Amino acid sequence: MTDGTSARNAIPARPILWRLLFPERHRLALALAITLLAALAELPPYALLSQSIGLALTGTASGGDLLGLAGWMGAALLIKFLLYSLAYYLSHVAAYRLLADIRQTLVRRLAVAPLIWLQRHSSGDLKKIVLQDVERLEQFIAHHTVECLAALASPVFVALVLAWIDWRLAAAALLTLPLAATLQALLMRGLGPRIEDYGRTIGALNGATVEYIRNAPVMKAFCQNARSFEHMRDLLARYHAMITAMTRKTVPGWSAFMVLLGANIVFLLPFGLWLHRQHALELTEVILAVMLGSGMLKPLFKVAHFSSEIGEILAGVRRLAPLLAFQPTAPAAVAPAPAAAADSAFADAITFDRVSFSYGARTILQDVSFTLKAGGFTALVGPSGAGKSTIAHLMGGLVLADRGDIRVGAVSLSSLSEAGRAGLIGVASQDSFLFAGTLMDNLRLGRPEAGADMVRHAARIAQAEDFIAALPEGYATTLGERGTRLSGGERQRIALARALISQTPVLVLDEATAFADGRTERRFYQALRAAYPDQTLLVIAHRLTAIAQADQILVLEDGRVIDGGRHADLLERCPLYQTLWRRQFDSETWSIRPKGTADAAHS
Ligand SMILES: Nc1ncnc2c1ncn2[C@@H]1O[C@H](COP(=O)(O)OP(=O)(O)OP(=O)(O)O)[C@@H](O)[C@H]1O
């Protein structure tokens, strides 16, 4: 397994950041140039102030002089205000244009991102990328650019003015800077991995929060509260511990850094007064130097703060990078035409050839081999946890086999593009996701060009016709984001009809008919075979009566296919199949009886 952290660190974030900023480079450059002017505009008010003090000290100021000075001061402040406003305006316009572009690109890329990649990321991770990481870029583009440049430029301009008055004053004003910079470097040491860790914890916490919100109704039903959601509680504790450790590590250093940046007055004032005594400087020059110099380094605190934030911004860019890099895959040249599955050349529509799969260290499937005959009806049965859905996930491209090969006809499934695979193999499971939109849109998801007759036909087979007819607007009924207006069983029927409409040569139904009772389920398979006789069907079902008519039944136990054949043969020779067959009747006749009547009921 690849180490996600080192892989992420290997992505060079700075070039990606520049590439993201490139489309707005002119606007941003203009914003920065205006910021420099605004930082320069901070100086004249000080010069005017020092001039006023000089006039006041000599007692030569007339009312007109003071009014003039006040006017100039007001004008200087107004110019500074206008320049900063313009710089901010431009940086914000650039930021929001870029953000809109980046978000649109991300959404487009999400649509073409490989299923495997999406499967590996929790919804919390993706939320963090699409919302928080992009939001952080807004902070960087709209605020940090202008504010950090101003914070850097302002001490430089002040140092130049001080050097112009007397270079020794500039040197005295800068004396505490090396000390503060060394402290800052020490402070930041070892913070990088912590910031990475912080990002990971936030991602995990987001995921747990989304899961918690989704499961809130279930937890309420069982009278549980947030404290019972152990995973989230652990993550919150980890987050709290991490923040506390980071605060403990950084706060004393930050405070010392801040104090040092403002401490240059300790050198500047005595040194300026000494120069005045040596007749090297006028008193007004000393006052001007102290006014300018005493606060000149404080803006660097913002720069230092930014340098700790840039780590998070770049980590966000690194997270964005893989998603931004996805390109729509060209249809695979080797994908067999869907209709070919029924040809004799594709007598074996699907072949699992010694396929193994693990979740981490846990082996789920081991050397699984079987074939699905083209146009045949195969059922996959086995105890819970045997690996049946994992086989469906492999065929649906949600996970990749660790070893072995899955072939569609003669072509390896792994060599097909996602579009090629989706055009050949359709998967419907119990977990159906319905999008906000009309029922018709939801049904035609896999085949937007499907005609009304085809949709109605599929809906009839999926036993969805009656309840659709009862909906206020039939097929035009708008569904909520998760199809909340439909019951679980109705949603499953829609998912089933959707898979039928896609008309893929191979169809995998993973507990997709769990909504139906035994008899309805059996009738459904009969209707399905009659309507689509050429379709290769793989059905995962717990209710064996429904699939007893299958051409082939594969028995899976602990990730291995232990037997395969027709119902009658398996019933005769396969102990596990016999047990599964018996168990379904036990469960069908199972009931809760008052204590003490159990024996009587069994006899
Ligand atoms: N994402 C995952 N991470 C780790 N283990 C998983 C994951 N998904 C499934 N498993 C495990 O893999 C095993 C096989 O799961 P699978 O869903 O394929 O079984 P199944 O035969 O379909 O079971 P059921 O009939 O109950 O649906 C189970 O033990 C399950 O806990």
- In a 13 Å sphere around the CA of 198, the CA atoms on its Cβ side amount to 19
Neighbour count for residue 3 (Cβ, 10 Å): 9
> Do residues 359 and 434 share a domain?
yes
- Domain presence at residue 266: no
* Total number of residues shown for the chain: 603
- The pLDDT score that the predictor gives to residue 207 is 74
- pTM: predicted TM-score of the whole model, two decimal places: 0.61
> Do residues 213 and 135 share a domain?
no
**Distance from residue 401's CA to the centre of ligand 1 (Å):** 15
Q: Name beta bridge partners: 428.
A: 509
Give the max Cα distance, the chain.
Answer: 120
> Do residues 122 and 70 share a domain?
yes
- Domain presence at residue 218: yes
Q: What is the CATH number of the domain that holds 96?
A: 1.20.1560.10
**Distance from residue 513's CA to the centre of ligand 1 (Å):** 19
> Do residues 378 and 453 share a domain?
yes
- Domain presence at residue 281: no
- Domain presence at residue 553: yes
- The pLDDT score that the predictor gives to residue 329 is 55
**Distance from residue 214's CA to the centre of ligand 1 (Å):** 21
Distance CA 87, CA 31 (A): 4
Report the residue among 119, 359, 584 best suited for mutation to probe ligand 1: largest number of ligand atoms under 8 A from its CB: 359
Confidence of residue 63 (pLDDT cuts 50, 70, 90): confident
- Domain presence at residue 424: yes
Cite the DSSP H helix spans in 462-552: 465-470, 488-502, 518-531, 544-547
Confidence of residue 361 (pLDDT cuts 50, 70, 90): confident
Judge whether residue 341 has pLDDT over 70: no
- The pLDDT score that the predictor gives to residue 13 is 79
Regarding the beta carbon of 388 and ligand 1, being less than 6 Å apart is answered yes
Distance CA 458, CA 493 (A): 10
Regarding the beta carbon of 387 and ligand 1, being less than 6 Å apart is answered yes
- Domain presence at residue 338: no
> Do residues 355 and 238 share a domain?
no
Distance CA 67, CA 452 (A): 83
> Do residues 123 and 219 share a domain?
no
Contact by Cβ (8 Å): 573, 563: yes
- The pLDDT score that the predictor gives to residue 141 is 92
* Mean per-residue pLDDT over the chain, rounded: 81
> Do residues 33 and 121 share a domain?
yes
- The pLDDT score that the predictor gives to residue 37 is 95
> Do residues 312 and 424 share a domain?
no
Residue nearest to atom 18 of ligand 1 (CA): 387
- In a 13 Å sphere around the CA of 379, the CA atoms on its Cβ side amount to 23
- The pLDDT score that the predictor gives to residue 333 is 44
Helix (H, G, I), strand (E, B) or coil at 505: coil
Neighbour count for residue 595 (Cβ, 10 Å): 5
- Domain presence at residue 473: yes
> Do residues 320 and 353 share a domain?
no
- The pLDDT score that the predictor gives to residue 134 is 87
Distance CA 394, CA 350 (A): 12
**Which of 223, 238, 254 finishes a domain?**
254
Regarding the beta carbon of 380 and ligand 1, being less than 6 Å apart is answered no
- The pLDDT score that the predictor gives to residue 233 is 80
Distance CA 521, CA 492 (A): 13
| Residue range of the domain that includes 16 | 9-166+302-325
Q: What is the CATH number of the domain that holds 497?
A: 3.40.50.300
Amino acid type, 25: R
Regarding the beta carbon of 364 and ligand 1, being less than 6 Å apart is answered yes
Distance CA 48, CA 42 (A): 11
For 251, 268, 305, the CA distances from 257, given in Å and listed in that order, are 10, 18, 11
Confidence of residue 2 (pLDDT cuts 50, 70, 90): very low
The b-or-e profile of 206-241 (16+ CB within 10 A means b, else e) is: bbbbbbeeeeeeeeeeeeeeeeebeebeebbeeeee
How do residues 111-138 score in pLDDT, each as one tens digit? 767 766 777 777 667 777 888 888 888 8
Contact by Cβ (8 Å): 146, 88: yes
Regarding the beta carbon of 386 and ligand 1, being less than 6 Å apart is answered yes
Any idea what DSSP says for residue 132?
A: I
Distance CA 526, CA 542 (A): 17
Contact by Cβ (8 Å): 493, 471: no
C-alpha radius of gyration, the chain, whole number: 36
> Do residues 319 and 389 share a domain?
no
Helix (H, G, I), strand (E, B) or coil at 462: coil
Residue nearest to atom 2 of ligand 1 (CA): 359
Residues 6 or more apart whose Cβ sits within 8 Å of residue 157: 39, 40, 42, 43
> Do residues 354 and 455 share a domain?
yes
Regarding the beta carbon of 361 and ligand 1, being less than 6 Å apart is answered no
- Domain presence at residue 178: no
How do residues 545-586 score in pLDDT, each as one tens digit? 878 888 999 999 999 999 999 999 998 999 999 888 887 766
Regarding the beta carbon of 504 and ligand 1, being less than 6 Å apart is answered no
- The pLDDT score that the predictor gives to residue 27 is 96
Element (H, E) at 369: strand 362-373
The total number of structural domains that make up the chain: 3
Distance CA 593, CA 600 (A): 10
Tokens of 11: 């992505």
How do residues 236-273 score in pLDDT, each as one tens digit? 888 888 888 888 877 877 888 888 888 888 889 999 99
Determine phi and psi for 90, rounding to 5 degrees.
Answer: -65, -40
Confidence of residue 337 (pLDDT cuts 50, 70, 90): very low
How do residues 381-425 score in pLDDT, each as one tens digit? 998 888 999 999 999 888 888 899 998 888 888 888 777 888 889
> Do residues 62 and 202 share a domain?
no
Contact by Cβ (8 Å): 207, 125: yes
- The pLDDT score that the predictor gives to residue 464 is 84
